[in-house]
Amino acid sequence: MRPIDLPQATAPADYVVIGAGSAGCALAYRLTEAGRSVTLIEFGGSDVGPFIQMPGALSYPMNMPRYDWGFASQPEPNLNGRRLATPRGKVIGGSSSINGMVFVRGNPEDFEHWAASGATGWDFASVLPYFKRMETWHGEPASDLRGSDGPLHVTRGKRKNPLFNTFIEAGRQAGWPYTPDYNGASQEGFGPMEATIWKGRRWSAANAYLRPALKTGRLTLVRALARRVLFDGRRAIGVELERKGRVEVALAGREVVVAASSINTPKILMQSGIGPAAHLAEHGISVLVDRPGVGENLQDHLEIYMQYKSLKPVTLYSYYNLLGKSRVGVEWLLQKTGLGASNQFESCGFIRSSDAVRYPDIQYHFLPLAVRYDGKSAAKGHGFQAHVGPMRSKSRGTVRLASPDPSAAPEIRFNYMSHADDWAEFRACVRHTRRIFDQPAFAEYRGEEIQPGAGVQTDAQIDAFIREHAESAYHPCGSARMGAADDPMAVVDPELRVIGAEGLRVADSSIFPRITNGNLNAPSIMTGEKAADHILGRVAAPEIERPSQDHAAE
């Protein structure tokens, strides 16, 4: 169907981008910076307000229907049939406006794996220029592996709470190294955590990229639901959208780029006739391109919270009441300082589950409070916790259409813990974490173990705890993976072009062949940066021959 036959067809921009999230904002900025015109479609609303802009309020926006799509998995058979929340940003800035603001590039070996999997030109040396270009790093000392003049500010918390450095020291006492910069020469070890926070505010993709792009005058931001991509033959020529109850069309003079998240991107592709033919036929959707990989390869990080009571009243529990939260909020509103100016993830660790593992496969976020990530419940009294989970689960899931209605949520099945190795890796997480907290550094603070609890010791007991208490770290990816053009399960080629279509690309975390080590915001933004250069035909030269070396066993 040609868009000229539909109502409210706009004058074409050079590019139409679906999704003003982490990658979409970066992509739009670089395209407009290069003189191209862009129509950016975003269903969510404004990111203005303290719930998003105040880092300390991070537990609120991801649980607010105003800012979150409200997705949940189908019942997970290996997690006692629980439906796990799958927050995705429905707001300007996408998930960068509701996430925990943690900044992790991933391990260099992640990108070597990408390249070996058919994503030619996405090895670490090839993505490093984009990681550097996107950031202004405020750490010390200066490093030629870090950027100094990019739009995304990356900072470190002040670690005023004594528990932050205690966690780092405990990791060292347990036998792991101190790593001064896990985004630099070596990821493995314990050290300060980095965040997209600048001058006390969340420095989202909207603040870093979207607002500068709007100032160019070449970006049109359209608040609407993207229903499907429109084609002339197999060439994408625009996007059908719904705005205020009316169907409209945004025309693309050159290309359409889908950057709608690892959940909504495969959904939009399938709504547009690109996906597994039999599945599309079930929903009465005409097949344009039969790509069985669309919606496959879905991955995520699971984690558990290892919690302990604190013997000293040094935790954030003192502020976990109405008066305390009010004081924190007022200080932030007036000065952009204090506890509200931090996400409270200020120290971390990356370790290997065993000496047989080549590079880190376990990540720690330390928090000086015993509380759920969603903020709904806190342990009574002072406590602290580590979020810990394996980084490279072999379990794979799917995103499928639940209905041909473009406004309907898709069916999300992660198939968490469906591989035997996942259980062994999680047991290692529990035992390594106990060893860390048992170190002398924690002696003056460590009270009894709140959870899993001292009575949880055997493999069977640990497994039962995981089934009931493991939670998503909110890092879904991989559902439209990148690979060689002749790979039948790949969805996009290394230029991010949708295989079998023309004038259509994907640029978000759905293209990841395999999940990276750590939080996904940084590699998602990098994807948007690199996608822009592929579109503009100016891909940066690789910077180094080999990735930096971790403390790896050979």
Token pair 């404004």 in the structure block, residue: 46
Mean per-residue pLDDT, 251-270: 98
Active site positions, annotated: 475
* Domains recognised in the chain with CATH numbers: 1-102+200-299+396-415+476-539 (3.50.50.60), 158-192+302-390+418-469 (3.30.410.40)
CB crowding 137-166: b at 16 or more within 10 Å, else e = bebeeebebbbeebbbbbbbbebebebbbb
pLDDT of residue 320: 86
Q: Establish whether 150 is an annotated binding residue.
A: no
- Phi, psi at 482, each rounded to 5°: -90, 145
Confidence of residue 5 (pLDDT cuts 50, 70, 90): very low
Q: Establish whether 100 is an annotated binding residue.
A: yes
Checking if the pLDDT of 52 tops 90, the result is: yes
CA dist 243 and 262 (Å) reads 23
Residue of 454, 386, 463 whose CA lies nearest to 163:
386
Average pLDDT, the chain: 94
From the CA atom positions of the chain, what is the Rg in Å?
Answer: 23
**Of residues 6 and 445, more confidently modeled:** 445
pLDDT of residue 115: 98
How large a percentage of the chain has pLDDT more than 70?
95
CB 231 within 8 A of CB 501: yes
* Burial class (CB within 10 angstroms; exposed 0-12, middle 13-18, buried 19+) of 25: buried
Checking if the pLDDT of 554 tops 60, the result is: no
Confidence of residue 405 (pLDDT cuts 50, 70, 90): very high
Q: Which residues contact 2 (CB under 8 A, 6 or more apart)?
A: 230, 232, 237
Could you tell me what percentage of the chain is helix, strand and coil, using 3-state DSSP and rounding each to the nearest 5? 30, 25, 45
Angle formed at CA 362 by CA 359 and CA 363, multiple of 5 degrees: 115
Its pTM stands at: 0.96
Q: Establish whether 297 is an annotated binding residue.
A: no
Q: Establish whether 99 is an annotated binding residue.
A: yes
pLDDT of residue 142: 84
